[in-house]
Amino acid sequence: MLTFTRNKLVSVWRKDDDTLSAHGILEDDIYSLEIDVSLSLSQLEILSIAGKWNRAENSECRRAIPFLQEAVGFKMGEGFTQRVQKLIGRKSCRHLADMLLVCCYSARDTAQVIRWEAEKEKRPDLGLVEVLSEQRISSSGPIKDSQISSGKPLKRGAGDLPLSKKAMIRGEMIIDLHVHTSPASPCSSASVGELIEEAKRIGLDGICLTDHNYVWAAAEVERLREKHDFLILRGNEITTDQGDVLVFGLEKEIKGIIALKELRQEVLKAGGFMILAHPFRGFLTFGVGQLGLTVEKAMERPLFEFVDAVEILNSKVTEKENRFASEVAEGLNLQVTGGSDAHAVSGVGIYATRFSDRIDNEIDLIRALKKGNYVPVAFREGMKKRS
Amino acid sequence: MPEILSFSRNICTVVEQIRDDLMTSSCRLQDTLMDAYVKISVKIPDLEINGIEGKLERSFSGEKIDVEEAFNKIMGTRVGPGIRKIIRGFIGNSATEKQLAFMVEECCSGLILSFTKDQMKKIPKDPEKARHFFENLVRENPRLYKGCAALSPGSPLVDNIKFD
């Protein structure tokens, strides 16, 4: 039985010598909307946008329409899709953003067809394939074959950071193992300096920089530590075919998406540690009952064989999803950690991990992670209760 | 200048419940330059892609794409947050491959929206009760807060919600 249908239709025509008009319609079981976009033919720059809802999920979806204007002036090119998805998708509506993108891509393809028709007048035997091939060759370099660039396992000394004064006089350490900084993580709004100062202010003993597929230079982290007099460690949140994984102790830079099995081999070679980040993010939005997902069934997922621990406190998922992750990890007898997954200053330390061992540097961190003497904690909540 | 169409694109996505433990989602894209079809099978409740097929009926780009090979890499991936990044990372960078990746994304979106549709049926007709419904939805799923204009500060749906 059909449970859902969605139709998108885009028509593009040439309004004048340098203007393309695109009219897009989206019709599905939940939404009905229309978008009109004009773009310059020569620059593929958005000149105007108008949007309209015919049917929507709720009465407030109409609030999304004015935000469409923020994309006026955007030029198609490197980073265009991400910009539209981030700005229009979040401030306005992701369905409007997606439809805007479909209109813009259709306009870009129209520009190719128009160029072909113009070229054909000069070279009547020219086929569209040749024009497209010429454009492809002239507009793009060789495709980067993603994955792993060269690197070496972490050696003692790399990122070997002295312990913060505060941590030295304590028997345990509380470290936020999962934070994102801007611009290393494009999705984050917090600079590394702001995050560190906030972490210090709320009383954390250290943070771990885990920007998406980004390896911080040990010297830069050392400079930050000295400047802020605070324990700063390096990690990396790597996107795999099975979801996001927090990796510690791997100096190799991973570009693009990597298979979890392949990543496991690299981390084992480097003597590092892997934590499955927010493993059930989005799993339970519709309720466990609706999809019939049980802890036992979730435990059967093969990805758990390729990690050392599971993040069971993450501030970007629901309490139910955290609880579910906790039950699955317990069933599989896997170590568990907590991290804020902060993308803004106010998020750092919401969750963290309390270590029984002293941690002076990245080598100590990996040793402590492997030893297993730690527990995830709701740090900010605890801070409120204490004050 | 006569307003004759220079380009037209149609994208149709259809989601089907095959069995209690299996759903399919297919996308057909037809435009001036290309005609392609993609279908994914998804295991319930894991939402794991356990089958994917596709066909490039017509393409003016001149590229020779091994659709099967491009798709094999995403077998076993779970449909959910982050899937876009995974699909784009695995299915090539050429114009045709990007379009195929977009179609896989459409299949995944359709699948998720089929569940959303079931949830939407539960929204009460009474406006005040509907407001409470969305308020509770956001409270239970904090990442929805500020995720779109309707669920951002200023909207009556989230008036009573304050997250740190």
Tens digit of each residue's pLDDT (9 = 90 or more) over B117-150: 888 888 898 989 999 999 998 888 888 888 899 9
Do residue B65 and residue B106 come from a single domain? yes
Q: How far apart are the first and last CA of chain A?
A: 57
Does the pLDDT at position A106 exceed 50? yes
Mean pLDDT computed over A368-374: 92
Arithmetic mean of pLDDT, A102-115: 93
Q: Where in chain A is the domain with CATH 3.30.390?
A: 6-139
The stretch A328-337 carries a mean pLDDT of 92
Beta pairing class for A309-314 and B5-19: unpaired
Tell whether B163 is covered by a domain.
no
Looking at chain A, the whole-number percentage of residues with pLDDT higher than 70 is 86
Q: Does A59 touch chain B (CB under 8 A)?
A: yes
Shortest Cα–Cα distance, A60 to chain B (Å): 5
User: Is the CATH code 3.40.190.10 the one for domain A148-386?
Assistant: no
The verdict on residue B2 lying in a domain is no
- pLDDT band at residue A318, thresholds of 50, 70 and 90? confident
pLDDT exceeds 60 at position A345: yes
Cα separation, A339 vs A313, in Å, equals 6
CA distance A224 to A244: 26
User: How far is it, in rounded angstroms, from Cα A293 to Cα A285?
Assistant: 12
Q: How far is A90 from chain B (nearest CA, A)?
A: 5
Task: For an interface test with B, give the residue of A109, A315, A319 to mutate (most B CBs within 10 A).
Answer: A109
Structure confidence at residue A266 (pLDDT): 95
Is there a domain that residue B136 lies in? yes
pLDDT of residue A163: 38
One domain for residues B68 and B140: no
* pLDDT > 90? residue B36: yes
Residue B26 and residue B41 in one domain: yes
Choose from A60, A301, A303 for mutation: most chain B CBs within 10 A. A60
Is B110 in the same domain as B128?
no
Task: Give CATH for domain A6-139.
Answer: 3.30.390
Q: Do B7 and A109 touch (CB under 8 A)?
A: yes
Q: What residues contact residue A344 under an 8 Å CB cut-off, 6+ apart?
A: A188, A189, A190
Are residue B115 and residue B131 in the same domain, yes or no?
no
Report the residue of chain B nearest A294, measured CA to CA. B45
B113 and B151 belong to one structural domain: no
Say if the Cβ atoms of A129 and B10 lie within 8 Å.
no
Instruction: Tell me the mean pLDDT in the region A62-72.
Output: 96
Scan residues 99-128 of B and list those with Cβ closer than 8 Å to A: 106, 109-111, 113-120, 123, 127
- B82-104 pLDDT, tens digit per residue, is 888 888 888 877 888 889 999 99
Least reliable range by pLDDT among A105-119, A255-269, A273-287: A273-287
Nearest CA in chain A to B107: A6
Higher pLDDT, A353 or B162: A353
Taking the Cβ of residue B162 and every Cβ of chain A, the question of whether any pair is shorter than 8 Å is answered with no
Say yes or no: B136 contacts chain A, CB-CB below 8 A. Answer: no
B20 and B84 inside one domain: yes
Q: What is the chain B residue with the closest CA to A260?
A: B77
A30 touches chain B (CB under 8 A): yes
Assess whether pLDDT exceeds 70 at residue A166: no
Q: Is residue B148 part of a domain?
A: yes
pLDDT of A169 strictly over 70 = no
The ranges of chain A annotated as CATH 3.20.20.140 are 148-386
pLDDT tens digits along B41-79: 999 988 899 999 998 888 877 777 777 777 888 888 889
The verdict on B20 and B94 lying in the same domain is yes
User: pLDDT confidence of B114, banded at 50, 70, 90?
Assistant: very high
Q: Tell me the CA distances in angstroms from B71 to A23, A104, B104, one per residue in order.
A: 31, 25, 9
Rounded to the nearest angstrom, the minimum Cα separation between B68 and chain A is 17
Structural domain boundaries, residue B141: 123-158
Which of A8, A129, A240 is facing B60, going by the closest CB pair? A129
Average pLDDT, chain A: 86
Over residues B17-24, the mean pLDDT reads: 94
Are B38 and B112 part of one and the same domain?
Answer: yes
Q: Does A285 touch chain B (CB under 8 A)?
A: yes
Residue B114 shares a structural domain with residue B129: no
Nearest by CB to B155, which of A29, A60, A350?
A60
What are A139-157's pLDDT values in tens digits? 333 223 333 333 333 333 3
**Which residue of chain B has the CA closest to A301?**
B46
pLDDT attached to residue A63: 95
Percent of chain A with pLDDT over 90: 64
Q: Are residues B129 and B112 in the same domain?
A: no
Instruction: Give me the pLDDT at residue A65, please.
Output: 96
Number of residues written out for chain A: 387
Q: Is residue B130 part of a domain?
A: yes
Q: Which residue has the higher pLDDT, A110 or B80?
A: A110
Closest to B27 (Cα-Cα) out of B113, B120, B92, B117: B113
Co-location of B115 and B152 in the same domain: no
The domain total for chain B is 2
Angle formed by the axes of helices A128-139 and A94-122, to 10°?
A: 120
Q: In what order do the strands lie in the sheet with A335-339?
A: A236-240, A243-248, A273-276, A309-314, A335-339
At residue A136, the pLDDT reads 46
Band of the pLDDT at A285, cuts 50, 70, 90? low
